[in-house]
Amino acid sequence: MASHRRPKQPSRTRVTVLTTAAAAAVALSANAANAAPSEKPSKDEVKAKVDALYEQAEQATEKLNGAKEKQEKLQKEISTIQDNVARGQDDLNELRDSIGMAAAAQYRTGSIDSSLQLFLSSNPDDYLDKASTADQLSSQQVEALKKIQEKQRELAQDRAEASEKLKDLASTRTELAKQKKSVQGKLAEAQKLLNSLTAAEKAALAAADARASRSASERVDLGDAPASSARAQAAFNAAQTQLGKPYVYGATGTASYDCSGLTSWAYAQAGITIPRTSQAQANAGTRIYSMSDLKVGDLVIFYGDLHHVGLYAGNGQVIHAPRTGTVVRYESINNMPFQFGVRI
């Protein structure tokens, strides 16, 4: 007969473990259900992030402006070098022609010198080593040829060096463009957060921004501070005509500007050429470290890395192109970390 056994009952220990695990699972589920959702950033946190990203974008823009300016300068240098090389080659060809005529005359008489044969060969450097033995060539001709070929070698070296610098600069610009693209991605992310704010929160941020800076259309009390010079006054007057123009990365007018684009354009209208970037403009004149010593038309440099610039307008105000989403306008000099002024 088959045996009939009672099913084995689970041990008390095992029951306890299973019961405890089930209870823990229930507790975790309850906690998860009751957990507060991740807190949405406040409008102040969103504004802080957006402002930081705008600043990063402007830093990248000023670096790109500097790279572009360097590239343009190198292109001009390379063009000059190539012109010099072409002139040197013409001089060399002219000397070769004159020596070739002498060789032809000797050939007709059957008395061509071996050194001239060497010169007319494909190895002029070897010829130069032995040119002093050429009875048919004057020492003046030999020296002239040496100088021209030496100059040609120097120019070729300069051209190669400039070309390498241009390649390096192009690579740098590519890297900077990638950095700028990355920053713009962060700006888009911050803008997404801004768009997530309520209408009331957006209105509060707009009101705060209006209090922090003056509208381009609002009358601003600039006092009666004098300009540092007639040309500084002319530059400031030119900048005033651009109030309300939008800020655009890399723009130099007249439809739009970035910060250093506005200042360089304004001084150009006064007949003065200053560097393109804010960092270079920081070294374009005499530095003024006290705000109280600033005069109308002085450049005003902001931030520790000197990536922002405006023009002093008087009465503690600057006129500048602030950042993306804004226009050329007046703003309190105290709204940004002042470094120093520059008197052109």
State in Å, rounded, how far the first CA of the chain is from the last one: 116
Among 251, 259, 274, 300, the one annotated catalytic: 259
Active site residue 259: yes
Find how far residue 228's CA is from the centre of its chain. 29
Among 180, 308, 323, 329, the one annotated catalytic: 308
Among 320, 323, 329, 343, the one annotated catalytic: 320
Nearest to 222 by CA among 97, 319, 120: 319
User: 137: phi > 0 → left, psi -120 to 50 → alpha, else beta; which?
Assistant: beta
- SS3 of residue 188 by DSSP: helix
Backbone angles phi, psi at 308, to 5 degrees: -135, 145
Distances (CA, A) of 99 to 35, 74, 92, 104, 150: 96, 37, 11, 9, 18
User: 239: phi > 0 → left, psi -120 to 50 → alpha, else beta; which?
Assistant: alpha
Active site residue 308: yes
Residues noted as catalytic:
259, 308, 320
